[in-house]
Amino acid sequence: MKFLPNLINTFYFKSFDFQTSKSKAIFNYSFDDGTEFVEEIIFHNVATEIGNEKLRALNNCLKYLHLVLGISYYKAAVPEKIVIENYSISEDIANFFNSLYIKGLGEFAYNNKLNLNEKVRFPFSLKRNHLPSFINLPECIAIPVGGGKDSIVTLDVMKSTNKSLMIFSLGDFDVTRKIAIKANLPYIFVERRLSPTLFKINEKGAYNGHVPFSAILAFILPIAAILYGFNIAVLSNERSANVGNLVYNGIEVNHQYSKSFEFEKQISNFLKKYLLSNFNYFSFLRPLSDIGIAKLFSKLDYFHNTFISCNSAFKIQKNNQNQEWCLKCPKCRFTFLALSPFIEKKKLISIFGSNLLNDKNQIIGFDELIGIKGHKPFECVGELNESIAAFILLSRHSNWNKDLIVQRFIKFALPSISAPDDIVNSAFSFSEKHLLPNFFYKVLYAYFRS
């Protein structure tokens, strides 16, 4: 039977629970037609005996994770009404989640031709007794690692501080384990099991699309901090994530909204105000551009044959995961482009398995990266000017400037650029817009200047 989103009027946040014996959190949701969703989050390799103080802190944090995880199910029908059963939230908290759902689902709304501005309205109570928990957390830093160049740069810099570190992963991926082994750091991972019902209704006509993954990660981290023992989460989101892709229904659509500085400021404050008062969350690489990080990563030869930024390696369903670069997506193109001015040509081609800059099938994709066609791709890629800066450098590089895509840039784009050196210098500048505590700022700046 077909699933008809327009027949759904209400989305319910039903309940949540934490099973200490299995270190598993369970979250329940439903639509008013009887469709039910059950999501599980498993925290692997943690103690099964948890004291009352930790349990109270956990329950407080789980409430907010319940709200953010709901975005994956709410979007299947985007009904007019939202109901929270068993607990209430304040107007301030409701406004935070209104904003997160609307902006975090911006790309989804654009692709499905929906207007969420008047739909997303979280209910709230006038009570204001929503206080954060405070428990003693060990002095330790968790670094969320996917498998790409950014988090590897963060790892390398942070190891120079001699602080206690651990690698955190949302999902257990081969590439992340390999990076942890090479970095010689403790590895912890949390497993997310989406409700099977979601996949079933997706096949029957439910709305589907991008959700703000990094926002979900942000709400899992305080719970992990309680269970695994760390007090700081250091992200690897760069300043390039601040720039959106296009404007739709009066709102900037940004594929990387939950990686943006706007969201970082909001979530950092929100976690302290409502979840854990002594937990710190910030992005270490915020002052740097994506291509600036690529330049730093180019020096880390030890990881060059391990990393992978292609999303095909990180799909939710393991049987769909690919352990190689797909060479067809914007992330593959941009990563290859960003590294090409800094890594020897033969080596870079051996890493990817192909020379993307000499492939006619890549023309349209690279045109999108520099703004000749379409809009900035809905992917985690750098700003248009960063791609242009990379091409400017390649146009001056004898090993690259005869390749097809670079030749096209030289012929059709370069003549219209009046100040190419300014574009290059800007791409590699150090921004002062960040939340880095002074110690971490000094560490990154010294590394950047070295």
Verify that 275 and 391 share a domain, yes or no: no
Q: Is 446 part of any domain?
A: no
Task: Give tens-digit pLDDT for 31-89.
Answer: 999 999 999 999 999 977 888 999 999 999 999 999 999 999 999 999 999 999 999 99
pTM: 0.94
Residue 313 has a pLDDT of 66
Q: Is 291 part of any domain?
A: no
Verify that 278 and 308 share a domain, yes or no: no
Number of separate domains in the chain: 2
Q: Which of 255, 404, 406, 280 minimizes the C-alpha distance to 341?
A: 406
β-bridge pairing 187-193 and 165-170: parallel
Q: Is 437 part of any domain?
A: no
Which residue reads 């940004």 in tokens? 254
Q: Is 206 part of any domain?
A: yes
Verify that 229 and 313 share a domain, yes or no: no
Instruction: Tell me the CA distances in angstroms from 119 to 13, 42, 80, 211, one per residue in order.
Output: 16, 32, 5, 17
Task: Give tens-digit pLDDT for 152-187.
Answer: 999 999 999 989 999 999 999 999 999 999 999 999
Verify that 215 and 349 share a domain, yes or no: no
Verify that 213 and 329 share a domain, yes or no: no
Strands (E), 68-179: 81-84, 141-144, 165-170
Strands (E), 366-414: none
Q: Which of 149, 428, 146, 155 minimizes the C-alpha distance to 284?
A: 155
What span, in angstroms and rounded, lies between the C-alpha atoms of 380 and 334?
A: 9
Query: What residue numbers bound the domain in which 376 lies?
Result: 304-427
The encoded tokens of residue 415 equal: 């003549």
Residue 450 has a pLDDT of 82
Domain end among 253, 283, 313: 283
Q: Is 436 part of any domain?
A: no
Q: Collapse the DSSP code of 425 into the 3-class scheme (helix H, G, I; strand E, B; otherwise coil) and give the result.
A: helix
Verify that 327 and 271 share a domain, yes or no: no
Verify that 331 and 194 share a domain, yes or no: no
Q: Is 390 part of any domain?
A: yes
Verify that 228 and 340 share a domain, yes or no: no
Q: Is 202 part of any domain?
A: yes
Verify that 266 and 316 share a domain, yes or no: no
The encoded tokens of residue 202 equal: 């997706």
Verify that 381 and 250 share a domain, yes or no: no
Verify that 109 and 213 share a domain, yes or no: yes
